[in-house]
Amino acid sequence: MPYSTKARILLLPFLLLALLPPIWTLARAESIPPPPQLPVKGYVLIDYQSGNMLANLKGDDRMEPASITKLMTAYVIYKSLKSGKINLSDKVTISEKAWKTVGSKMFVKVGSQVSVEDLLMGMVVQSGNDATVALAEHVAGSEETFVKLMNQEAERLGLKSSHFTNAAGLPDPNHYMSGRDIAALTRALIQDYPEHYPRYAVRSFKYNNIEQENRNRLLFTDSSVDGVKTGHTESAGYCLVSSAKRNDTRLIGVVLGATKEKDRFQASQTLLNYGFSFFESRKLHDANSPIATTRIWKGKDSELPLGVAHPLYVTVPKGQAPQVSTTTTVQPKIIAPAQKDQAFGEIVVKLGDQEVSKTPLVALKEVPQSGWFGRLIDSILMFFYYLFH
């Protein structure tokens, strides 16, 4: 029976109430302003825990990184330290090439012996190109060979818009990084080598009776900032990758190509403040905790627990965490052996209908093959199982 005009009027308030949730949801979404306009060529802002991109201007464009290059140099050196190939106490003889390297200096003397520890401080805090080349030669025998290691690590880390021709970041047409790659590298450096990260918060270092302050002025003006690296050449402009932690949230910001030195600091501060003001991170799953359990055939165990290798976070606009959902997909047929951390599926995180991230679902334990009789039985069971499924 059609509604009368009077009935429609009586129902109108209830219809309006029913519409309120989507209206408020839309208002929450619209309350997040667009990323700030900054006086730089490009910038990127990511959340450290989730890796989610929060703001981006030309983030995938190849740009000159200048001394931000030293983050990759450091990554390779830290890897050599972890493997035991070199030690912090090693004495490095300073070559003439290292001593003559142009640009910022630690002021080491040719022929002198300097510890790896001091050279690292000279490279990280003072941005010394001489210290950088000396370390590269100590790790690989020559800077040229060391650069090959840098490019190998870039490929392994999935840095698709990065290529290096020297260890210090001197200008070269074939030496470049993108803002996205710089942010990803910084995240990997903090995550993989946390024991070395505190160097990036050191405000000054003295060597050869010459004390130099860290060029990252944010260390002196924002107590939440604890890194990371400046860069400057005439062609690259003023660059900075910064990282700050407030409460349980850490953000990484990259600004490239500022024309004035003060602009890189103001732009970085604005970018960090924007991220902390309008976004929040939530942990969805712990590392090495089962998210799904699946059948594994021909193994000593019949079940394989799957989870994530690292804690899984998502970063979303503040107030929109309830809209986050996850979907897991598992490989339909898994046959032993299975190695720990081997991928057998993925977990997709969505904010509403928008896909935010994909993360591999990995085996949380090793499952070796069973004996021949067990494999035979499972072959028979598999045949009938997939016949009816």
Token pair in block for residue 66: 């200048």
Provide the β-strand partners of residue 227: 243
Banded model confidence at residue 7, pLDDT cuts 50, 70, 90: very low
Give the tens place of pLDDT for each residue, 218-255.
Answer: 999 999 999 999 999 999 999 999 999 999 899 999 99
Q: Measured between alpha carbons, how far is 171 from 184 in angstroms, rounded to an integer?
A: 22
Which of helix, strand or coil describes residue 21? helix
Whether the pLDDT of residue 24 is over 60: the answer is no
Give the tens place of pLDDT for each residue, 167-223.
Answer: 999 999 999 999 999 999 999 999 999 999 999 999 999 999 999 999 999 999 999
Banded model confidence at residue 31, pLDDT cuts 50, 70, 90: low
Q: Measured between alpha carbons, how far is 191 from 47 in angstroms, rounded to an integer?
A: 13
Whether the pLDDT of residue 29 is over 90: the answer is no
Give the tens place of pLDDT for each residue, 117-138.
Answer: 999 999 999 999 999 999 999 9
Q: Measured between alpha carbons, how far is 117 from 7 in angstroms, rounded to an integer?
A: 82
Taking the C-alpha atoms of 284, 290, 294 and 297 in order, what is their torsion angle to the nearest 10 degrees?
140
Give the tens place of pLDDT for each residue, 83-103.
Answer: 999 999 999 999 999 999 999
Give the tens place of pLDDT for each residue, 49-64.
Answer: 999 999 999 999 999 9
Give the tens place of pLDDT for each residue, 286-307.
Answer: 999 999 999 999 999 999 999 9
Taking the C-alpha atoms of 315, 352, 357 and 47 in order, what is their torsion angle to the nearest 10 degrees?
-10
Banded model confidence at residue 382, pLDDT cuts 50, 70, 90: confident
User: Mean pLDDT throughout 17-26?
Assistant: 32
Task: Find the helix or strand (DSSP H, E) in which 330 lies.
Answer: strand 324-330
- In terms of phi and psi (left: phi > 0; alpha: psi -120 to 50; beta: otherwise), the region of 310 is beta
User: Mean pLDDT throughout 133-159?
Assistant: 98
Give the residue numbers marked as catalytic: 67, 70, 127
The type of residue at 320 is Q
Q: What is the mean pLDDT of the chain?
A: 91
Percent of the chain with pLDDT over 90: 87
For residue 289, what are the CA distances in angstroms to 322, 356, 361?
Answer: 22, 21, 11
Whether the pLDDT of residue 18 is over 60: the answer is no
Q: Measured between alpha carbons, how far is 284 from 50 in angstroms, rounded to an integer?
A: 10
Domains of the chain plus CATH, in order, are 42-280 (3.40.710.10), 286-388 (2.60.410.10)
- What number of residues does the chain have? 389
